[in-house]
Amino acid sequence: MQTDLVTLGLKLAMKEPGCPICRLRQKSEKRYLLGILRENVNDPATRAKISKSLGFCPKHGWQLQHMEEDIWHDGLGNAIIYQDLTRQVISWLDSYSTIQEQAQSDRLPKRIAGTVKRFLGRSSGGGEGMCPACAIGAQSEHTYLEWLVRWLPQPEFRELYESSDGLCLDHLRYALDIAEEEKPESVAILIASALKKLKALEEHLDGYIGKHSWHRHTEEMSREELESWKKAVAFFSGEEDICRR
Ligand SMILES: [Zn+2]
Ligand SMILES: [Zn+2]
């Protein structure tokens, strides 16, 4: 990815609600999945990757399905991908069945039986390769975090970051790791900003909980208090499908 595109992406994401890195990661994954449906269903390299990982993780498998149904009101792209995968599993199961028969008559080397069993023991999207959409997401997450950490001490960037919703817990930990290694002056900025936001969140959660009690239930809640429990989920678990918003 080009440096100016990375910086621009970060700046725009920091102006949007929620963790900017969750947003950018989800955007890259979505772009990749859309690309498959738009032009790469028949691309041999794309198909090889999908075949290596035996499809996608649950999140991206269903995202691809919903995407095709919502945009094209059809499922041809998915059908072509899964026709391939289905044939692959059928052929492995056929081999497994033959191997089982041979194993019972003790004619099969254990090594071959082990290979087939390992294949069957893989989880969805967790074949030899990682789910291809997760791999794209992880790569872009790392690039954006590296640049965020690198640019953070710069005043304009820092101001933008501080006025954003900040990073979710996972991305904060990841950013701190990168900062410790590559840009130690960013560590203090990341911590100070996270503390400020978490203290505000704690206060809003207090208000939300307090105003549920019988003697305060008529008090009106602020927007921040009303949203506090959802913001807390987003901080601890990461943002849920933020690109749709
Ligand atoms: Zn995040
Ligand atoms: Zn995935």
Q: Is residue 4 part of a domain?
A: no
Q: Is residue 174 part of a domain?
A: yes
Residue 85's closest CA among 117, 29, 132?
Answer: 132
* Average pLDDT value over all residues in the chain: 89
Domain end (from 133, 151, 169): 133
Computed on alpha carbons and rounded to an integer, the radius of gyration of the chain in Å comes to 24
pTM for this entry: 0.86
pLDDT band at 98 (very low <50, low <70, confident <90, very high): confident
Task: Give the pLDDT of residue 29.
Answer: 96
Q: What is the mean pLDDT of residues 199-204?
A: 98
Counts for the chain of helices (H) and strands (E), in that order: 11, 0
Do residues 203 and 169 both lie within one domain? yes
pLDDT band at 244 (very low <50, low <70, confident <90, very high): low
- Ligand 1 centroid from CA 159, angstroms: 19
Q: Which domain holds residue 36?
A: 21-133
How many CB atoms lie under 10 A from the CB of residue 169? 15
Do residues 120 and 145 both lie within one domain? no
Q: Is residue 6 part of a domain?
A: no
Do residues 140 and 124 both lie within one domain? no
Q: Which-ligand-closest: CA of 63?
A: 2
**d(Cα 226, Cα 213) in Å, to the nearest integer?**
15
Do residues 190 and 230 both lie within one domain? yes
Q: Is residue 2 part of a domain?
A: no
DSSP states of 116-162: HHHHHHPPTT-SSS--HHHHHHHHHHHHHHHHHHHHTTSHHHHHHHH
Do residues 138 and 240 both lie within one domain? yes
- Ligand 1 centroid from CA 60, angstroms: 17
- Ligand 2 centroid from CA 60, angstroms: 5
- Ligand 2 centroid from CA 126, angstroms: 9
- Ligand 2 centroid from CA 193, angstroms: 30
pLDDT tens profile 20-78: 999 999 999 999 999 999 998 889 999 999 998 999 999 999 999 999 999 999 999 99
